[in-house]
């Protein structure tokens, strides 16, 4: 099936969504996605940040679609023509969506643990208005401890359902979800009951904002002052492939590795995430690629060239750091 997105054509298999096709072309045409997550079944369709304009439905029926569609939920038809960044209407409409997402979300980036890694922060900078037109009181909730390792700050939740899908698809016996409807919706505190599962920590990695944070890392460090490195260990439960966030000699945080779409490459177990916070627990492979254009890219390894890698290897040989570049 041929589809053209922002003037670029690609051939994709039947059943591919517009968003997936756009990602196959590349980041220059791919719409942002706050709720879709390719590794979680039935995700998407909640946030509307991925809207696009279909200017030609298909070769068989060229009628344009009458209004913007969620690209993560709309399948490609043969001959379809789609506009994303090339449509001023879509860019303008997306600004409105960001404003809606920020209606209840506090603008507390300076004190939020997710700052620098937050998709909503990025979207806000890219599309947002400098001030809110919302005059009503924002929703406020008490912070909740979800088990001893995860903190839920519901004020920041944008109800993307990703954590619900993680609990549903990665842990046994899900008993949490979104309760109530409309502006009364919230993540149910029944989530506390699944948090003992050995994959429950993945709710932190999939949360696009600072609503679910790692209590073992909270307020320890701004993320842009840490150095991310890819590392692995022989783990009996998961792949053991992780990202360590290091400052000096300390491993401050362990997360799953994320790809260019900010999605987890492989979900990791709680033992890797919480119980192995020493460099010596890990085989360090090397600096992690950091693709984000937000503040997190600062002070990282993006500029590292081969020469610097050689330096690291030299240090490794001196015993500072073990580098094991696996093919
Ligand atoms: S807590 Fe985070 S992952 Fe869960 S629904 Fe809210 S924003 Fe999404
Ligand atoms: S990413 Fe498509 S609706 Fe949220």
What domain count does the chain have?
A: 3
Among the bound ligands, name the one nearest to the CA of residue 118: 1
pLDDT of residue 175: 61
pLDDT of residue 318: 46
- Which residue of 22, 30, 40, 72 sits with most ligand 2 atoms within 8 Å of its CB, as the best mutation to test the pocket? 72
Do 109 and 189 sit in the same domain of this protein? Answer: yes
Residue 232 phi/psi, 5° resolution? -145, 160
Q: Mark whether 106 and 197 lie in a shared domain.
A: yes
Q: From ligand 1's centre to the CA of 100, what distance in Å?
A: 16
Domain with 264, as residue range(s), is 223-317
193 plus 292 within the same structural domain: no
Which ligand 2 atom is at minimum distance from the Cα of 19? 2
- Please check whether residue 273 lies inside any domain of the structure: yes
Q: What is the DSSP letter of 213?
A: E
The β-bridge partners of 254 are 244
Give the SS3 label for residue 171: coil
| 112 shares its domain with 208 | yes
Is there a single domain that holds both residue 107 and residue 205?
yes
254: three-class secondary structure by DSSP: strand
Write down the pTM of the prediction: 0.83
Residue 91 backbone phi and psi in degrees, to 5: -60, -40
Residue 28 covered by a domain:
yes
Residues 64, 9: one domain? yes
- The domain spanning residue 11 has which CATH number? 3.10.20.740
Domain final residue, candidates 158, 193, 214: 214
Domain membership of residue 322 (yes or no) is no
- The last residue of one of the domains, among 38, 59, 90, is 90
Question: Which of 164, 183, 214 is the last residue in one of the domains?
Answer: 214
If asked whether residues 235 and 311 sit together in one domain, one would say yes
249 and 311 both lie in a single domain: yes
Nearest residue by C-alpha to atom 2 in ligand 1: 207
pLDDT at 320: 40
Task: Note down pLDDT in tens along the chain; length 327 residues.
Answer: 999 999 999 999 999 999 999 999 999 999 999 999 999 999 999 999 999 999 999 999 999 999 999 999 999 999 999 999 999 999 999 999 999 999 889 888 889 999 988 999 888 888 876 677 888 888 888 888 887 888 999 999 999 999 989 888 887 766 667 777 777 788 776 555 656 678 889 999 999 999 999 999 998 998 888 989 999 999 999 999 999 999 999 999 999 999 989 999 999 999 999 999 999 999 999 988 776 666 666 555 444 445 445 555 555 554 444 433 333
To 5 degrees, how large is the angle CA 49–CA 54–CA 60? 145
Q: Is the same domain home to 58 and 140?
A: no
Q: Note whether residue 97 is domain-resident.
A: no
Same domain, 114 and 205: yes
323 assigned to some structural domain? no
195/244 same-domain check: no
What is the chain's length?
Answer: 327
Tell me: do 206 and 112 sit in the same domain.
yes
Q: Which atom of ligand 2 is nearest to the CA of 33?
A: 1
Q: Per the structure block, which two tokens stand in for 234?
A: 């022989």
The ligand with the least distance to the CA atom of 49 is 2
Whether the Cβ atoms of residue 202 and residue 267 lie closer than 8 Å to each other: yes
Bridge-based pairing state of the strands 80-83 and 2-5: parallel
Q: From the CA of 105, which ligand is nearest?
A: 1
225 SS3 class? helix
List ligand 2's pocket residues with C-beta within 6 A: 33-36, 44-50, 70, 72
Which candidate, 157, 161, 163, places its Cα nearest to that of 120?
A: 157
pLDDT of 191: 53
């Amino acid at each position: 099936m041929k589809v053209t997105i922002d003037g670029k054509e690609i051939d994709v298999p039947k059943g591919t969504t517009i968003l997936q096709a756009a990602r196959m072309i590349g980041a220059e045409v791919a719409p942002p996605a706050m709720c879709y997550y390719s590794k979680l079944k039935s995700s998407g369709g909640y946030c509307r940040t991925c809207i696009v304009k279909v200017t030609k439905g298909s070769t068989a029926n060229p009628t344009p679609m009458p209004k913007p569609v969620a690209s993560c939920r709309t399948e490609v038809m043969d001959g379809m023509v789609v506009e994303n960044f090339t449509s001023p209407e879509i860019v303008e409409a997306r600004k409105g969506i960001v404003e809606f997402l920020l209606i209840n979300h506090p603008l507390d980036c300076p004190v939020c643990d997710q700052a620098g890694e937050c998709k909503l922060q990025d979207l806000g900078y890219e599309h947002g208005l400098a001030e809110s037109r919302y005059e009503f009181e924002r929703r406020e909730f008490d912070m909740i401890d979800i088990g001893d390792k995860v903190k839920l700050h519901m004020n920041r939740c944008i109800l993307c359902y990703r954590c619900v899908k993680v609990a549903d698809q990665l842990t046994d016996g899900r008993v949490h979800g979104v309760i109530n409807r409309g502006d009364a919706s919230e993540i149910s505190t029944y989530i506390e009951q699944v948090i003992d599962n050995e994959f429950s920590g993945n709710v932190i990695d999939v949360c696009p904002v600072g609503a679910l944070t790692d209590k073992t890392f909270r307020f320890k460090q701004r993320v842009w002052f840490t150095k991310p490195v890819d590392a692995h260990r022989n783990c009996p439960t998961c792949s053991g492939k992780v990202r360590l966030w290091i400052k000096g000699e300390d491993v401050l945080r362990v997360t799953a590795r994320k790809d260019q779409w900010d999605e987890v490459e492989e979900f990791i177990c709680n033992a890797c995430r919480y119980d192995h916070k020493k460099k010596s627990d890990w085989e360090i492979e090397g600096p992690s690629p950091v693709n984000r254009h937000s503040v997190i890219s600062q002070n990282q390894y993006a500029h590292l060239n081969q020469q610097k890698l050689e330096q690291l290897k030299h240090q490794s040989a001196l015993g500072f750091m073990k580098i094991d570049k696996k093919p």
